[in-house]
Amino acid sequence: MEYNIGDIVETKKQHPCGSKKWKIKRIGVDFKLECLGCGHEITIERPKAIKMIKKKI
């Protein structure tokens, strides 16, 4: 599946705030994701990010 900056994705596990929806902020060797529930941003390695993403919304 192809991902673009600004896409909203749903993860398999939820963030501690309760949200499963994340916005992609940066793509490259790693992904930068922003939680849509609380605004927390994480940087995660590409293979891990692709594994944790369930679907693109």
pLDDT at 26: 96
Residue 33 lies in a domain: yes
**49 phi and psi, to 5 degrees?**
-60, -45
Looking at the structure of the chain, the number of domains it has is 1
Q: How many CB atoms lie within 10 A of CB 43?
A: 12
pTM summary value: 0.90
Residue 34 lies in a domain: yes
Residue 1 lies in a domain: no
pLDDT at 1: 79
pLDDT at 44: 96
Residue 51 lies in a domain: yes
Domain with 29 in it: 8-56
Handedness of CA 45, 48, 50, 56 (dihedral sign): negative
Residue 46 lies in a domain: yes
Of 9, 4, 33, 38, nearest to 21 (Cα)?
Answer: 9
Q: What does the pLDDT profile of the chain (57 residues) look like in tens digits? A: 799 999 999 999 999 999 999 999 999 999 999 999 999 999 999 999 999 999 999
